[in-house]
A and B are shown apart, each in its own frame.
Chain A
Amino acid sequence: MLRQTGNLFALGLDIVRGLFQRPFQFREFIQQSWFIASVTILPTALVAIPFGAVISLQFGSLARQLGAQSYTGAGSVLATVQQASPLVTALLVAGAGGSAVCADIGARTIREEIDAMEVLGVSAVQRLIVPRTLAMMLVALLLNGMVSVIGVLGGYFFNVVLQGGTPGAYLASFSALAQLPDLWVGELKALIFGFIAAVVAAYRGLHPAGGPKGVGDAVNQSVVITFLLLFVVNFVITLIYLQVVPGKLD
């Protein structure tokens, strides 16, 4: 367990070091970005709409009971931008992107392609993993933006159409609670999530236990490990953020 953790960190460091080594594999980066985006965009959008709706419904009804209808928009924007969108991004990046990367690398490992590459004097981390990590980070960043927009739109739709809220009040309170640093921290989280998901996927992919069945297990484990890590990291970052950046009403 301790050894695995250590190896995971070592791989993470190798990847960071690989980021600065030339030549950068630009082609691989573009291809992987496209690939990861193509497997994640649609599911993310489909998850984001109900997610925004649920937050909006929940917060809307709560606000009405407390007599704070005018803050409905403010609350759902805050919740969506700060928490929901990085988490949705994390789930999709780990579940769709990470599993695809892990399966790809795992298949290459058991076909001895990785060994062959290393033997040809090409670092597999630099050639394959670094472009994938960057691609995951880029896609996570963009997905986060997309989820924020779709989530807020979904919230607006449900609040205005289904709960009878007033469009003007919803829009006017947009910036009552939410502030720009909320968006920045959301994007920062997405970047970190993308990195962690890529490192875990690559690590499990490079070390599948025993044969083709091992690849399946590795993919499964990579998703589970990534989820666990991401939720913990999300908690830590949120905690620090709330301590460091004062709320708007304070």
Chain B
Amino acid sequence: MGAEVVVEGLTKSFGKQAIWRDVTLTLPPGEVSAMLGPSGTGKSVFLKSMIGLLKPERGRCVINGVDIVTCSEHKLYEIRKLFGVLFQDGALFGSMNLYDNVAFPLREHTKKSETEIRRIVFEKLEMTGLAGAEKKLPGEISGGMRKRAGLARALVLDPQIILVDEPDSGLDPVRTAYISQLLIDLNTQIDATILIVSHNINLARTVPDNLGMLFRKELVMFGPREVLLTSDEPVVEQFLNGRKRGPIGMSEEKDTATMAREEAEAAAGHHDGSPQEDVRGVVPQMQPSPGLPERAGERRRKDRVMRILHTLPPAAQEGIIESLSPEDQRRYNVHPHLVAHHARPNEFGEAVPNQHHGQLPTEQIARIPGAQPPRPGPYGPPREQGPGGR
């Protein structure tokens, strides 16, 4: 399972200009998280601070018990081996061909033989759809291919944490969807913690388990995707719908006078070309490709979210419950349109008595079955043992 990343009170500024302050969040292990935000809010800076390329002034960022803000350089290089990072442009080494680029981390950090390196490199190139292009130099291929090659290189050391800086920049919507699918499949296969930094709404709505947003030098929110997708926060609403009307202006923030004028213009019937419909709301999440097993991160997240369900805003609670399959609703003993539902014993109820500890009244706590019910995966029956198998 991927590593957990705990960020506490992180503050970064360049000279006198604060980039963001007091960012506190936890990337749950093995889940896919995404950080949204208008351009120039320091999303990439946040990502670089998480791997120690930039030093934040205050705060902690703890991975496997090591605080990368204050740890020694030697420790930092060690902990970075847990990371796979995909930069915006792939950041391939221009003087090496794709094969050498992908083989680079293996040659530097492992004592693997050249044949084994070859096997791993071809496997990763295959995975990212680059088989046959291994002899090409980074300058000779398209931006999308560079991105995928960067991803292949980030994956060769089997990272526990994958950071992705704008997977969609410079890509068409179709290729973005393929990259997104690749990330979800990857999370399914190696169960790594993934953080995507992006401002692509479609990706944000369908890919991650958790969503956060940076604006006005602060973390507006971070939590399960349903919380942000159903949020009434004006910034979030404006951003998700891609409207001009709202607190986000051309240069980061709008003053109140501009905002009031826009409101008045809109009230007077001026149509500024912004999309009319509201895309907020919980949409079905992207699933791993058919043939892959169930995503372990998704299962863990469901349990985790149901445990904190009572702390979430009502709209998010409703969204979460509605997005559950009927059998999950039975399993967690929740029903749509009935958030503070009175708990009734159900078929799994007796198995989890100690889940009910706490100060809250029983009826506000969602139930977590201790024993996993036998659930056939959504993609075919579990693999069968062949005849004469061990």
A residues sitting closer than 8 Å to B (CB atoms) are 107-108, 111-113, 115-123, 127
Contact = CB atoms under 8 A, between A and B. Distances in A.
B53 interface: yes
B75 to A, nearest CB: 11
9 contacts: A111-B94, A115-B48, A115-B91, A119-B51, A119-B80, A120-B109, A121-B108, A122-B77, A122-B105
A127 B104 CA distance: 12
B77 A115 contact: no
A120 B105 contact: yes
B347 interface: no
A113 B93 contact: yes
Contact of B77 (A108, A112, A116, A121): A121
A127 B108 CA distance: 10
A111 B139 CA distance: 12
A122 B94 contact: no
Interface in B288-305: none
Given A111-B91, A111-B94, A120 B104 contact: yes
B80 A113 contact: no
Contacts of A117: 93
A119 B90 CA distance: 13
A130 to B, nearest CB: 15
Given A111-B91, A113-B93, A121 B78 contact: yes
Interface in B94-109: 94, 104-105, 108-109
Chain A binding surface SS class: helix
A119 B93 contact: no
Interface stretch (B81-89, B113-121, B184-192, B218-226): B81-89
A123 B94 contact: no
A131 B197 CA distance: 35
A123 B52 CA distance: 13
Interface of B: 48, 51, 53, 77-78, 80-81, 83, 85, 87-89, 91-94, 104-105, 108-109, 150, 153, 157
Contacts of A127: 108
Given A120-B157, A123-B77, 6 more contacts: A113-B94, A116-B85, A116-B91, A116-B92, A119-B80, A121-B109
A129 to B, nearest CB: 15
A115 B108 contact: no
A210 B104 CA distance: 28
Given A108-B94, A121-B108, A122-B108, A116 B80 contact: no
B103 to A, nearest CB: 12
Which of A107, A108, A116, A118 has the most CB atoms of chain B within a 10 A radius of its CB?
Answer: A116
* For the complex of A and B, 7 pairs with smallest distance between CB atoms: A116-B91, A112-B91, A121-B80, A121-B81, A119-B85, A120-B105, A112-B87
A111 B108 CA distance: 21
Nearest to A122: B108
A107 B138 CA distance: 14
Contact of A116 (B78, B81, B87, B109): B87
A119 B94 contact: no
Contacts of A116: 85, 87, 91-93, 150, 153
A94 B22 CA distance: 45
Nearest to B73: A123
B89 to A, nearest CB: 7
A112 B89 contact: yes
Nearest to B53: A115
B307 to A, nearest CB: 34
Contacts of B153: 116, 120
Of B77, B88, B91, B150, most buried by chain A (CB within 10 Å of CB) is B91
